[in-house]
Amino acid sequence: MTSQEMFSLLQNQIPQVKEIPYPQAPANAPAHEGKPYRDSHLYISCPVEIWKNCAKFLKEDDRLSFDFLTFMTAIDYLKVPAGETPRMDVVYHLFSFKYRHKCVIKIPVVRENSELPSCANLWKAADWQEREVYDMFGIKFEGHPNLKRILMWDGFPGWPLRKDYVHIPDRYDD
Amino acid sequence: MTTEIIRLPGQDLSSEEMILNLGPQHPSTHGVLRVVLRMDGEVITGSEPDIGYLHRGTEKLSENRTYPQMLVISDRWDYLSAMSNNLVWCLAVEKLMQLEVPQRGQTLRIIMVELNRIASHLVFFGTYGIDIGAYTPFLYAFREREKILDLFEEVSGARLTYNYIRIGGVMADLPQDWVGKCRSFLEWIKPRFVEYDILLTENPIFKDRTVGVGILTKEKALSYGVTGPNLRGSGVSFDMRKDEPYSGYDKFQFEVPVGKNGDCWDRYWVRIQEMKESVKIIEQALDHLPEGECNAKVPRLIRPPKGEAYAHLEAPRGMLGIYLISDGTEKPYRVHVRPPSFINLAILQEILVGMKVADVIAILGSIDIVLGEVDR
Amino acid sequence: MILPVFTQSQKRSVGVLVAMGAIGSTIALLIGELNQRIFQVWGFVSEFASKISIPSFMLSFVSMVLQCSVLIGFISVSVMFMVWWERKISAHMQSRLGPMYTGGWHGWAQTIADAIKLLLKEDIIPAAANPWVHRLAPVLAFVPCFLCYAALPFGEGLISADLDIGILYIFALSGLSVLGIVMAGWGSGNKYSLLGGLRAAAQSVSYEIPRVLSVVPIIMFVGSLKLTQIAQAQTGFWHVGGIPVLPRWFIFYPVIGQLAFIIFLIASVAETNRTPFDIAEAESELVAGFHTEYSGMKFSFFFLAEYAYVFLSSGMTTTLFLGGGSGPLFPSWVWFLLKSFAVVFLFLWFRWTFPRLRVDRLMEFTWKFLIPWSFFNILAAGFMGLM
């Protein structure tokens, strides 16, 4: 299915999703910056509240059938251009084995105390990757079977991959 | 052999669940990995891998390194197949910069990556033999690997962290008689595969310990995001080199071995066959090595345009991917590594249940993880 | 055809080995039958003792002490040699070199150096262990083996105690070593050592059965349990038209001999806890072995006991199946040693070729495969005896 078909199918079911258009260079950008690049498959922005339904639909619909979660991660946008609020984007990259098509879903959340419904029961691959996002960014996933820190030691203060993370010296520092 | 755990109704015999710690230091955990096993007698009822002992924060480091500097860090994710790590980083950056690598550079990259695949699978073969109790194949595998490392040392100067594949091509063209040495190595290793088949693959004791053990079904594998030889061992034919070819792989003819049952023997067998296929690819590449430039013109200060790119390739352990977000400066804004070993390791929680303690090592070895990639 | 190219040092090593072989053979031929020499020497000693009027019980006591010392000396030297030999053989099978430095020529003094190192180590008894059980376990593992050597015929007449129940005595005492392993496992105070010890005990006890049963056809053919008689029944050749074709060794008996040999060999490998049956002491297995908590001299006792049992099993295989001492030209003790060390080579070869069997498969193998076949063997021997 092409990106257009996928998006129209998804939007019929869940009207709140928005497609993220291919980035254009701003009008007064200097020439040496070049053309912005993004992969050519479908990028969708989905609000937090309807993510659960959206994920379920993406996995279980016959024509979309995204049964493989390639990866999920999060991006911290602390410094944003004027007019926007700082946010964190949680990114899910989905792949369908049946139809061999991909799509990327970005879910903007607030930076403090954000919560997102967990997809660990839909794609088991999300289990550890959500723990990693929690460990590195502090985004909680409700409904996750075992939300503990995975890479850092239990009780580590702070969320390392945030842009405003400052390392607090602990007993492992010399 | 799985055992069903049947809870008898009525009076429950309270038997304590024993907790066994397969500690971070153990001859068979292939690195610093801790697995906490809950056992009921000899049968395992639950397992919890505890990782993070080798976490070096490379994703955070990347935000303060230029794109060429990240190549050095990328070597150290899956240190047994550093060429693949370099290549995936270069693919991601070249996608962002919309750069085209000349034919010679692409073919050289393929040769190095496939040689590295053989080296990495040889380590798997040797260490898996030790896990099962056969001490000798390890030394044969490392003898072969020494020859590959000698080839790599001539071409890049290093034996483990090569930093050879650079953005826009490779570090330098091949030295003078490297092609001849590579060909003689390939001639030397082909009869060795026959030896390995006799020594381990068809050995009844080895088969007894690995056939039917640790079965990973297709559905579970897809749900857990497993890729690489683990997925192919379960019967799904998915290889990035064939399905989404990169760096000129579509010009080469090779087969993708697919297992039948998804047990440890199938995963082992897929890797042995992959080594043979890699030999074929390298031979074809050496035969059709194009002349010309091997590097594209790359500016001195690499500043990709704004945007994001996801590049992936078939590393020896699975689908290694880089999700790269650039904000127009010379340092990346966000780098996320999609590590195959990390995602493959998650299945350990499920396939160990119902197995006996003696099978844990066999199953853990067959997933073939490298802790550098699990923890990054 | 590619001719092999030999290096200087390889040619030198071969030269040294050939020279050693030549000198050894001449010495062996000069000594001749060892028991006759011993009787000659002992004759002089007893004459001298009666001259200076030493009572005869004193003399027999001295004889006993001498025999024990010779046996212990032989065991120690042969174990040291076997450890060095194993390291060399495993190294050459793995395309590396093995010990090369200690002592000069191919590291022949390596085991001596290792033994001294182990002697100098601290003797640790874990706090949770029972100290007396912990101390006694290695003794109980080694002493039965030494007792068994007394009944092993090292050649014609070279046997310390020529018992009428020779085989039965040896099998009974080999079984005692299981006790040492269980004591080691329990006395370490560590639940994983206990599990390892119990597993090893289960394995040893199970594999004793096919080991004993496989020897029954041999006993049926000879009609006696005396080891010297079994060895003597294998002297001579089978002749075809006047030409000696095969020696009368039990291994060459049709089907029964080969089957008995194979079952006895496999069961002996399992009894001595060698790969492929070495789950009890394997490093890469999950549950620690029974000798984890042992260090220093006590650990070396277990080590010594294992290799001594290996030689004992090889010696028994030689006596029961390979003619134990019979052979042309050289005296019988030379043949016995040659054949025993050939079987020891088999033991070493198995260790570095095969992977390990899993515990339950190991037990299945003996109960469902080896024991039924050894019963079949006894039946076949009975039929053959009828004919």
pLDDT at B1: 40
C-beta atoms of B98 and A160 within 8 A: no
Confidence label for C215 from pLDDT (cuts 50, 70 and 90): very high
C95 interaction partners in chain B (CB closer than 8 Å) = 139-140, 143
Smallest Cβ distance to C276: which of B138, B140, B205?
B205
Residues near C310 by beta carbon (within 8 Å), at least 6 away in sequence: C82, C272, C274, C344, C347
DSSP-assigned beta bridge partners for residue C240:
C243
Q: Is the pLDDT of residue B153 over 90?
A: yes
> Any CB–CB contact under 8 A between A25 and chain B?
yes
Q: Phi/psi at B316 (nearest 5 deg)?
A: -55, -25
Q: Is the pLDDT of residue B13 over 70?
A: no
Q: Which DSSP helix (H) or strand (E) runs through A142?
A: strand A140-142
CA distance A13 to chain B (A): 24
CATH numbers and ranges of domains, chain B: 58-375 (1.10.645.10)
Best B222, B237, B324, B337 member to test A by mutation, with max A CBs in 10 Å, is: B222
> Any CB–CB contact under 8 A between C360 and chain B?
yes
> Any CB–CB contact under 8 A between C353 and chain B?
yes
- Read off the pLDDT of residues B277-305 as tens digits, 9 standing for 90 and up: 999 999 999 998 888 888 888 888 888 88
CA distance B234 to chain A (A): 15
Interface partners of chain A (CB pairs < 8 Å, 3 or more) are B
Percent of residues, chain C, with pLDDT higher than 90: 23
Q: Do chains A and B touch (3 or more CB pairs under 8 A)?
A: yes
Q: Could you give the 3-state DSSP secondary structure of residue B170?
A: strand
| B247 phi-psi bin (left φ>0, alpha ψ -120 to 50, beta other) | left
CA distance A174 to chain B (A): 17
Helix axes B357-367, B103-132, angle to 10 degrees: 170
> Any CB–CB contact under 8 A between A100 and chain B?
yes
C38-76 per-residue burial string, b: 16 or more CB within 10 A, e: under 16: eeeeeeeebeeeeeeeeeeeeeeeeeeeeeeeebeeebe
Report, as an integer, the average pLDDT of B338-342.
Answer: 92
Mean pLDDT of chain B: 88
Q: What is the dihedral of CA B190, B195, B196, B200, to 10 degrees?
A: 160
Closest CA in chain C for residue B359: C358
| Angstrom distances, CA of residue C260 to CA of A110, C251, C263 | 78, 8, 5
Burial zone of B243 (CB within 10 Å; 0-12 exposed, 13-18 middle, 19+ buried): exposed
Report d(CA C186, CA B140) in Å as an integer.
39
DSSP-assigned beta bridge partners for residue A69:
A94
pLDDT at C268: 92
CA distance B286 to chain A (A): 32
DSSP-assigned beta bridge partners for residue C332:
none
> Any CB–CB contact under 8 A between A161 and chain B?
yes
User: Would you tell me how many other CB atoms lie within 10 Å of the CB of residue A52?
Assistant: 16
> Any CB–CB contact under 8 A between C158 and chain B?
no
User: Looking at residue B227, what DSSP letter applies?
Assistant: -
Q: Is the pLDDT of residue C200 over 80?
A: yes
C-beta atoms of B205 and C355 within 8 A: yes
Q: Could you give the 3-state DSSP secondary structure of residue A76?
A: strand
Q: What is the ipTM of this complex?
A: 0.89
Structure tokens at B108: 């050289």
Helical residues (DSSP H) of chain C, grouped into ranges: 8-31, 34-51, 56-93, 110-119, 131-149, 166-187, 191-222, 227-232, 256-271, 297-321, 332-353, 359-365, 371-386
Task: Work out whether strand A140-142 and strand A115-117 pair parallel, antiparallel, or are unpaired.
Answer: parallel
What's CA B219's distance to the chain center, in Å? 22
More reliable by pLDDT, C16 or B2:
C16
Residues near A148 by beta carbon (within 8 Å), at least 6 away in sequence: A131, A154
> Any CB–CB contact under 8 A between C279 and chain B?
yes
Mean pLDDT of chain C: 85
Helical residues (DSSP H) of A63-158, grouped into ranges: 126-137
Report d(CA C56, CA C259) in Å as an integer.
48
Q: Are B351 and B49 in contact (CB under 8 A)?
A: no
- Candidates A115, A38, A102; CA nearest to A71 is A102
C-beta atoms of B361 and C284 within 8 A: yes
Q: Do chains C and B touch (3 or more CB pairs under 8 A)?
A: yes
Residues near B83 by beta carbon (within 8 Å), at least 6 away in sequence: B109, B112, B113, B115, B116, B162, B164, B165
Q: Which DSSP helix (H) or strand (E) runs through B312?
A: strand B307-315
Answer yes or no: is A44 within a domain. Answer: yes
Residues near B287 by beta carbon (within 8 Å), at least 6 away in sequence: none
C-beta atoms of B52 and A124 within 8 A: no
Q: Is the pLDDT of residue A96 over 60?
A: yes
Confidence label for C341 from pLDDT (cuts 50, 70 and 90): very high
Answer yes or no: is A50 within a domain. Answer: yes
Gyration radius of chain C over CA positions: 23
Report, as an integer, the average pLDDT of C225-249.
Answer: 84
Structure tokens at C340: 């025993």
Residues near C10 by beta carbon (within 8 Å), at least 6 away in sequence: none
Query: Any idea which residue has 């049964």 for tokens?
Result: A67
- In B, residues 3-42, which contact C (CB 8 Å cutoff)? 20, 22, 27-28
Report d(CA C288, CA B27) in Å as an integer.
12
Signed CA dihedral, B58, B60, B65, B66: sign only: positive
Answer yes or no: is A151 within a domain. Answer: no
Report, as an integer, the average pLDDT of B222-241.
Answer: 90
pLDDT at C2: 64
C-beta atoms of B225 and A23 within 8 A: no
CA distance B256 to chain A (A): 17
pLDDT at B8: 54
Best A38, A42, A69 member to test B by mutation, with max B CBs in 10 Å, is: A38
Q: Are B343 and B227 in contact (CB under 8 A)?
A: yes
More reliable by pLDDT, B357 or B10:
B357
Closest CA in chain A for residue B55: A151
Q: Could you give the 3-state DSSP secondary structure of residue C137?
A: helix
Confidence label for B9 from pLDDT (cuts 50, 70 and 90): low
Query: Any idea which residue has 């949680």 for tokens?
Result: A90
Side by side, the strands of the sheet bearing B43-50 are: B18-22, B34-40, B43-50
Report d(CA B162, CA B112) in Å as an integer.
10
Report d(CA C22, CA C11) in Å as an integer.
16
Best C358, C360, C369 member to test B by mutation, with max B CBs in 10 Å, is: C358
CA distance C99 to chain B (A): 16
Answer yes or no: is A153 within a domain. Answer: no
C360 interaction partners in chain B (CB closer than 8 Å) = 356, 358
Confidence label for C253 from pLDDT (cuts 50, 70 and 90): confident
Concatenating the DSSP letter of every residue in B229-267 gives HHHHHTT----HHHHS--TTGGGS-------SS-SHHHH
A55 interaction partners in chain B (CB closer than 8 Å) = none
Longest pairwise C-alpha distance within chain A: 58
C-beta atoms of B225 and A68 within 8 A: yes
Closest CA in chain B for residue A123: B223
pLDDT at A170: 78
CA distance B330 to chain C (A): 47
C-beta atoms of B305 and A160 within 8 A: no
CA distance B198 to chain C (A): 11
C-beta atoms of A70 and B225 within 8 A: yes
Structure tokens at C20: 């050693």
Best C284, C348, C350, C351 member to test B by mutation, with max B CBs in 10 Å, is: C284
Signed CA dihedral, A149, A150, A152, A153: sign only: positive
> Any CB–CB contact under 8 A between A97 and chain B?
yes
HSE of C154 in the Cβ direction (CA atoms, 13 Å)? 19
Q: Name the pTM for this structure.
A: 0.87
More reliable by pLDDT, C243 or C114:
C114
Best B26, B33, B135, B213 member to test C by mutation, with max C CBs in 10 Å, is: B135
C-beta atoms of B60 and A35 within 8 A: no
Q: Could you give the 3-state DSSP secondary structure of residue A141?
A: strand
The domain spans of chain C are: 44-50+58-120, 127-386
Q: Are B32 and B23 in contact (CB under 8 A)?
A: no
C210-230 per-residue burial string, b: 16 or more CB within 10 A, e: under 16: bbbbbbbbbbebbeebbbbeb
Answer yes or no: is A138 within a domain. Answer: yes
> Any CB–CB contact under 8 A between B44 and chain C?
no
* Residue type (1 letter), B298: V
Closest CA in chain C for residue B360: C286
Side by side, the strands of the sheet bearing B307-315 are: A37-38, B307-315, B318-326, B334-338
Q: Could you give the 3-state DSSP secondary structure of residue B323?
A: strand
Report, as an integer, the average pLDDT of B5-27.
Answer: 66
Answer yes or no: is A163 within a domain. Answer: no
CATH number at residue A48: 3.30.460.80
Answer yes or no: is A168 within a domain. Answer: no
C-beta atoms of C94 and B135 within 8 A: yes
> Any CB–CB contact under 8 A between C359 and chain B?
yes
CA angle B208-B214-B218, nearest 5°?
Answer: 125
Structural domain total, chain A: 1
Report d(CA C370, CA C207) in Å as an integer.
9
C278 interaction partners in chain B (CB closer than 8 Å) = 133
pLDDT at C286: 56
Report d(CA C222, CA C239) in Å as an integer.
20
Signed CA dihedral, B74, B77, B82, B84: sign only: negative
Helix axes B264-287, B178-196, angle to 10 degrees: 150
Q: Is the pLDDT of residue A34 over 80?
A: no
> Any CB–CB contact under 8 A between A148 and chain B?
no
- List the domain range (segments joined by +) for residue A83: 3-22+35-142
